[in-house]
A and B are shown apart, each in its own frame.
Chain A
Amino acid sequence: MSNASTLHEEARIVNGILGEAAQAVRDRSREIAEQVIAPNAVRYDEEGCFPKEAIDALNDAGYMSMIIPKEYGGFGGSNVDLCSMLLEVNKVCASAGVIASVHSSLCVYPLKTFGSETVKQKYLPKLATCELLGAYCLTEPEAGSDAANQRTTAELDGDHYVLNGSKIFITTGKEAGLFIVFARTSKEDKPAKGISCFVVEADTPGLTVGKAEIKMGIKASSTTEIHFDNCRVPAENLIGERGRGFNIAMEILNGGRVGIACQGAGIHAGIIEELDAFTKSETRNGKPLAYQQDVAWTMSELIAEHDAAEALIFRAACARDREPNPIRECSTAKLFSSQACNRAARRAMQIMGLKGAVRGNRVERFYRDARITEIYEGTSEVQKIVIARTI
């Protein structure tokens, strides 16, 4: 494809006019979201249980393998396809949304991008069918935003690395079958230099799942500690070059951020849908609330910010389909989308009053779910550092 036609195509996508394939993904995802996921979403939140029907349905459609190449049994889709799916899933259930995003962006992506052929053959087909669900272990008690401050160690012992240490806040920690894990392989180098990336199977002896957090929202997505106690991992499970782990971690997160941006914009779209229905059915002084001036103002701002978030997301997705690591596009999408969906949740609940503040209502759930989008996969403060560096 020539540059001109690529740019023309990208301009259409940023304007929300998807190509045929991505539009088909979006339509089918919306059907799955409305028919399979939405009816269960309140229960997932209340029970804090794994959103099984949701992930099963996405898997049946092939969407859990969205960015896995066809030769490894995947869907072979683009980042635009992935975003099209994540936007629709998050519109009804942010827990299922983050599980799907982490699986593809934080586990599949590093394996297919940095993994050896052996590792790809070993794991991608199983990730493609969800026989293994993916997770990502970077954060530690002393290494949050300061991710280079890794304490987990990996020492080479014959043809194995021996992992020791503890990770926290691991999404899908309870259910994951495969973990991307970062650990320090050299104490001599500068903090960011001595880190390496591994892929570790959940049933490897020495790997245990620790305490699960009680969170404000995304309650159907488990968040746990993962402990490594003399956990022996085959040396061939090293992902990318030894000592390059920190750069790999950052590049993975950069892509993951677009997934979280989709979570924000999906939540945002769900809030608009809910608020629209509410303000048209509720009346004040004999007319629908929607026609009250201050309500219409709020609604308009919510729509403008939502549309801006989606445009930033598709800009980032196009950039990711074009080049390996587009920083500014990904971080701006994440920063804007996450902040916008929180504003939307706060204002929607304000208009709905107590009806939007009781459990079982989507606005109430999304108010709690939205809050995490400004925190994980790099807080808004981290995004601001990253974006400023691109100037």
Chain B
Amino acid sequence: MADHLNLNEEQQMLLETIDEFTKGEVRPGAGERDLERTFPEDVWEGLAELGLMGVAYPEEVGGVGLGWLTHALVVESLARGCAATAMTFVAHANLAMGAIATAGSDEQKERWMEELCSGETLGALALGAGEVLAGPAAEGVTASKSGDGWVLQGTAATVVNGSRAALLVVHANVEGGGSGLFVVRGDAVGLGRGASHHTSGLRAADYADVTFEGVAVPAADTLPGDADAIVRGVLDASRVSLAAIAVGIARDAFDRTIDYSKERQMFGRRLADFDGTLEKFSTMASATESARRLLYAAATAQDGGDGYASIATMAQLHAARVAHDVAYEAVQIFGGYGYCHEYAVERLQRDAKMVEIGVDETAFARRALARELAAI
């Protein structure tokens, strides 16, 4: 499949590096991490060494300055090896870093971006306020004024990287109205973490509740600006990355299916030689490729600046559905083996489902999309 992306030499080199890293370091342990629900510790260190956390962010804040298309390609590559690792990466590089990079003052960016870009610090975005909350949420987090600073109280539910993050950007309701963004260190007094949720898929990713019991935040650690709008912007950006995870899963499932179908013999022929298999291949391939192209279009629009929210949502919706369809079909083609953990495709189906439910967690985005397109 030709890529037609007109990548420059630097981007191409970086992609080769990440593809190699995925193949050698990310993919081999993915099944084990799924079974044991272990955080991809070694993989994370490797990613940090490669300097990939800040691919999309400008060099002046410690990033690489290669933009969002490159970022999406990195996420897609990681997800081809391990979707849970890719999700961890997105929670860090899109959500936590995105909030600081878009809203932080120069001084704040200088203070936090470097350690996040280098991967030395694991970040998370704790959503505890407003309508951006994913459906039936916990009580949420409230910020009350205390002297010059703020005090946080409450719970942010199912924060990705929640049980491990060393730096959290907290979106909290502000007492008296509105919301704010507060940057909190993981070891802050009063900050508690629930156990990582035992999820169906993306099991090596860490979804945990974070509690705040009188966590003090100095004024200097609050991000300026309209917090709701900032969070929406960050979530719009993350939708492109979630689409990239979905595309990565679909491609992994497709590649594994092709390999298996060429090996597996039945009725004296290869499975790949049956008409029905070929029909399935063509459906899987065209679905995957369409999701991939929409992803690249969304990421390119993201690099172009404003006005990409709709295409980002469409890319996420479409890619998530495709990932599940393709992974489901992969399990079907593998048959009994497909149902066994050893053959990986059942993990891909579960991972795809987690990515798909991520679409509804931002149901408001679907409606925003529909309203925008229909001009209502």
Whether, in the assembled complex, A49 has its beta carbon less than 8 Å from a beta carbon of chain B, the answer is: no
Whether, in the assembled complex, B360 has its beta carbon less than 8 Å from a beta carbon of chain A, the answer is: yes
CB closest chain-A residue, reference B352: A346
**Min distance, Cβ A287 to any Cβ of chain B, angstroms:** 14
Q: List 18 A-B contacts (CB under 8 A).
A: A142-B265, A146-B267, A169-B336, A215-B339, A215-B340, A216-B340, A216-B350, A282-B136, A349-B357, A350-B359, A353-B135, A354-B134, A354-B361, A359-B198, A360-B198, A368-B350, A371-B346, A380-B332
Cα distance A260–B339 when bound, in Å? 16
The residue from B266, B267, B360 contacting A353, defined by CB atoms under 8 A apart: B360
CB closest chain-B residue, reference A359: B198
Whether, in the assembled complex, B54 has its beta carbon less than 8 Å from a beta carbon of chain A, the answer is: no
Whether, in the assembled complex, B341 has its beta carbon less than 8 Å from a beta carbon of chain A, the answer is: yes
**Min distance, Cβ B266 to any Cβ of chain A, angstroms:** 4
Contact size range, A: 35 or more
Q: Convert B323-351 into 0s and 1s, putting 1 for each residue whose CB lies closer than 8 angstroms to a CB of A.
A: 01000100110011011111000100110
Q: Convert A313-330 into 0s and 1s, putting 1 for each residue whose CB lies closer than 8 angstroms to a CB of B.
A: 000000000000000000
Cα distance A299–B57 when bound, in Å? 44
Which chain A residues border B357 with CB–CB below 8 Å? 349-350, 353-354, 356-357
Q: Convert A347-373 into 0s and 1s, putting 1 for each residue whose CB lies closer than 8 angstroms to a CB of B.
A: 001110111111110001001100110
Q: Is the CB of B335 within 8 A of A354?
A: no
Whether, in the assembled complex, B200 has its beta carbon less than 8 Å from a beta carbon of chain A, the answer is: yes
Which chain B residues border A139 with CB–CB below 8 Å? 336
Q: Convert B104-138 into 0s and 1s, putting 1 for each residue whose CB lies closer than 8 angstroms to a CB of A.
A: 00000000000000000000000000000011100
Cα distance A145–B331 when bound, in Å? 15
Q: Is the CB of A214 within 8 A of B332?
A: no
The answer to whether residues A214 and B265 also contact, given A359-B200, A368-B200 and a CB cut-off of 8 A, is: no
Which B residues from 266 to 308 make CB contacts under 8 A with A? Answer: 266-267, 276
Whether, in the assembled complex, A149 has its beta carbon less than 8 Å from a beta carbon of chain B, the answer is: yes
Whether, in the assembled complex, B201 has its beta carbon less than 8 Å from a beta carbon of chain A, the answer is: yes
Cα distance A350–B35 when bound, in Å? 23
Whether, in the assembled complex, B353 has its beta carbon less than 8 Å from a beta carbon of chain A, the answer is: yes
CB closest chain-B residue, reference A354: B158
Whether, in the assembled complex, A31 has its beta carbon less than 8 Å from a beta carbon of chain B, the answer is: no
The answer to whether residues A367 and B353 also contact, given A142-B265, A354-B134, A357-B201 and a CB cut-off of 8 A, is: yes
Which A residues from 284 to 317 make CB contacts under 8 A with B? Answer: 284
**Min distance, Cβ B147 to any Cβ of chain A, angstroms:** 37
Which chain B residues border A379 with CB–CB below 8 Å? 332, 335
Whether, in the assembled complex, B354 has its beta carbon less than 8 Å from a beta carbon of chain A, the answer is: yes
The residue from A213, A357, A358, A374 contacting B332, defined by CB atoms under 8 A apart: A374
The answer to whether residues A216 and B266 also contact, given A354-B197, A354-B361, A358-B200 and a CB cut-off of 8 A, is: no
Whether, in the assembled complex, B146 has its beta carbon less than 8 Å from a beta carbon of chain A, the answer is: no
Q: Is the CB of A346 within 8 A of B199?
A: no
The residue from B35, B199, B276 contacting A359, defined by CB atoms under 8 A apart: B199
Which chain A residues border B353 with CB–CB below 8 Å? 346, 349, 357, 367
Which chain A residues border B158 with CB–CB below 8 Å? 354
Whether, in the assembled complex, B207 has its beta carbon less than 8 Å from a beta carbon of chain A, the answer is: yes
CB closest chain-B residue, reference A345: B353
Q: Is the CB of B267 within 8 A of A355?
A: no
CB closest chain-B residue, reference A357: B200
Which chain B residues border A165 with CB–CB below 8 Å? none
The residue from B135, B265, B338, B360 contacting A375, defined by CB atoms under 8 A apart: B338
**Min distance, Cβ B287 to any Cβ of chain A, angstroms:** 16
Whether, in the assembled complex, B356 has its beta carbon less than 8 Å from a beta carbon of chain A, the answer is: yes
The residue from B197, B341, B359 contacting A214, defined by CB atoms under 8 A apart: B341
Known: A371-B339, A379-B332. 10 other contacts (CB 8 A): A215-B339, A353-B136, A353-B361, A354-B357, A354-B361, A357-B357, A371-B349, A372-B339, A375-B336, A381-B332
Whether, in the assembled complex, A72 has its beta carbon less than 8 Å from a beta carbon of chain B, the answer is: no
Q: Convert A19-53 into 0s and 1s, putting 1 for each residue whose CB lies closer than 8 angstroms to a CB of B.
A: 00000000000000000000000000000000000
**Min distance, Cβ B192 to any Cβ of chain A, angstroms:** 20
Whether, in the assembled complex, A144 has its beta carbon less than 8 Å from a beta carbon of chain B, the answer is: yes
